Amino acid sequence: MTTNQSPRNSPRAVAWTRRRAALGKVWREFAANKSGLFGLAALVVIVLVAVTVPLWLDREVLSVTRATGEILAPPAGDFWLGTDHAGRSVLALTLWGARISLLVGISAAILSVAIGTIVGMLSAHFRGWTAAVLMRVTDFFLVLPALVLAIVLSTMLERGVGTIILAIGVTSWPSTARLVRAQTLTIETRPYIERAHALGGGHMHVLSKHVLPAVLPLVLANTTLAVGSAIISESTLAFLGLGDASTVSWGGMLKSALDTGAVTAGAWWYLLPPGFAIVLIVLAFTLCGRALETVLNPNLRER
């Protein structure tokens, strides 16, 4: 390889060719997974809607003072999914609510996976007391009920989207840390890591150049799954009244519905859309994540 220096065959180009091929292989395997594809398609649609909704649905629809509908009117005419307690369209609220759910879900999942990955890798790489301390911290967070901790955090801190993200992020990382630690441990026993050490690679080099790329696929699959549970946590917190009252979210909609007596009033159109939206988005992320996990983690492949 070193003899041929033409651009096409430079180490970089070779690496990229290899990566492209690997990616193609991943995609083919992923595409073979029907449910994974379904999840991905649903995700693409939801994300597209959430991102573009301000372009085709005026924020005006969220205004209570300019709401035009009757209070808690069943689905009909202009309001395909009925109206809420202020006479706003439940459909519009559900569409707008997707934004906050996605934002919080993805941000919190990334935060949680980032913490988990760093803690997991460090605790596997540096055995001894570092690992002991990190793992005990992980255990501590693992045994603490995440929801309770998140409730406490969001009560103590300033209200807002940031707080919710933080509360979910810092309470849901231990399982990722465990997972990454296990993966790191297996990878570090491989000969090429030993070779890197022998060639003088420091901790930073080994962790960032060799271990991280090797655990990344798993982390990616894990993130996809974590988004789902983060969205549920967000909805739960909002349902418990700990969310950001000034933004429309699905959990918040369910809370308003319950608070204003929609259940007794039989206003199913106020309850089902946000409920189904949560189910759909979590299902999409879960299906995607499972499929990715099967593709990327050889251990899970069927023999």
Partner 1 sequence: MVRVVATGKQGRKRSRRGPAIGVVAAALGMAMLPAVAVPDVAPVAKAEQPQGKVLRVAVTQDIKKLNPFQGTSLVDTQVGRLMYEFLVIPNATDSTPEGALAESWTPSQDGKTWTFKMRKGVQWSDGQPITAKDVEFTYNQIMTNPGAKDANEVAVASFESVKATDPETVEIRTKFVNVAVIGSVGEIPIVPEHVWRDKVAGIKDFKNEQTPVVGSGPYVLSGVESGRSVTLKANDKFWRGRPKVDTLQMVKYENTEAASQALIKGDADLVYNLTPAQYRTLEKTSGIKASAGRNRRFTEIIMHTGAKKADGSTWGTGNPVLADVEFRKALDHAVNRKTLIEKVFGGYAEEATQLIPPVYPDWTFKLSDDKKRNFDIGKANSILDAAGYRKGDGGARLDKQGKPITLRLLSRNDRAEQAQMAEYVKEWFGQLGVTVDHKSIASSQLNDDTTSGNFDLSFSGWSVGPDPDNMLGQQLCKLVGTELGDTNICNPEYDRLFAQQQAELNKDKRKETVQRMQQMLYDNVSAIMLSYDKLLEAYRSDRFTTFVTQPQNGGIINNQSGYWGYYGATPVGETPPAGAPKAAEQTNSDSDSSGLGTGGWAAIIIGAVVVLGGLGLLGARRKRVSADDRE
DSSP state of 9: G
268 binds partner 1 (CB under 8 A): yes
Closer by beta carbon to partner 1, 13 or else 245: 245
261 binds partner 1 (CB under 8 A): yes
Min CB(14)–partner 1 separation in Å = 35
Min CB(153)–partner 1 separation in Å = 14
* Contact pick of 102, 282, 288, 296 for partner 1 (by CB under 8 A): 282
Greatest pairwise CA separation for the chain in angstroms: 79
185 binds partner 1 (CB under 8 A): no
155 binds partner 1 (CB under 8 A): yes
41 binds partner 1 (CB under 8 A): no
Closer by beta carbon to partner 1, 201 or else 275: 275
272 binds partner 1 (CB under 8 A): yes
Contact status, residue 257 vs residue 271, Cβ threshold 8 Å: yes
DSSP state of 298: G
User: Dihedral of CA 96/100/106/109: which sign?
Assistant: negative
**What does the alpha-carbon distance between residue 81 and residue 92 come to, in Å, rounded to a whole number?**
9
174 binds partner 1 (CB under 8 A): no
Using CB under 8 A, which residues numbered 101 to 120 contact partner 1?
none
Tokens 């979590």 belong to residue: 282
Closer by beta carbon to partner 1, 15 or else 300: 300
End-to-end CA distance of the chain: 35
Give the count of beta carbons closer than 10 Å to the beta carbon of residue 21: 10
58 binds partner 1 (CB under 8 A): no
Closer by beta carbon to partner 1, 159 or else 205: 159
At a CB cut-off of 8 Å and minimum separation 6, what does 265 contact?
Answer: 72
How many Å is the Cα radius of gyration of the chain? 23
Stretch that binds partner 1, among 2-10, 73-81, 126-134, 274-282 (CB under 8 A): 274-282
User: Dihedral of CA 145/148/154/156: which sign?
Assistant: negative
**What does the alpha-carbon distance between residue 93 and residue 100 come to, in Å, rounded to a whole number?**
11
241 binds partner 1 (CB under 8 A): yes
Min CB(205)–partner 1 separation in Å = 32
Q: Residue 100: name the closest of 223, 251, 229 by CA.
A: 251
Min CB(165)–partner 1 separation in Å = 18
97 binds partner 1 (CB under 8 A): no
**What does the alpha-carbon distance between residue 1 and residue 174 come to, in Å, rounded to a whole number?**
43
271 binds partner 1 (CB under 8 A): yes
Stretch that binds partner 1, among 6-14, 104-112, 136-144, 243-251 (CB under 8 A): 243-251
Entry field: residues in the chain: 303
Contact status, residue 84 vs residue 148, Cβ threshold 8 Å: no
Stretch that binds partner 1, among 2-10, 84-92, 163-171, 206-214 (CB under 8 A): 84-92
Q: Is 85 helix (H, G, I), strand (E, B) or coil?
A: coil
260 binds partner 1 (CB under 8 A): yes
Instruction: Write out the residues near partner 1 by the rule CB under 8 A.
Output: 63-66, 71-72, 85-87, 155, 159, 175, 225, 228-229, 232, 235-236, 239, 241-242, 245-246, 251, 254, 256-268, 271-272, 274-276, 278-279, 282, 286, 299-300
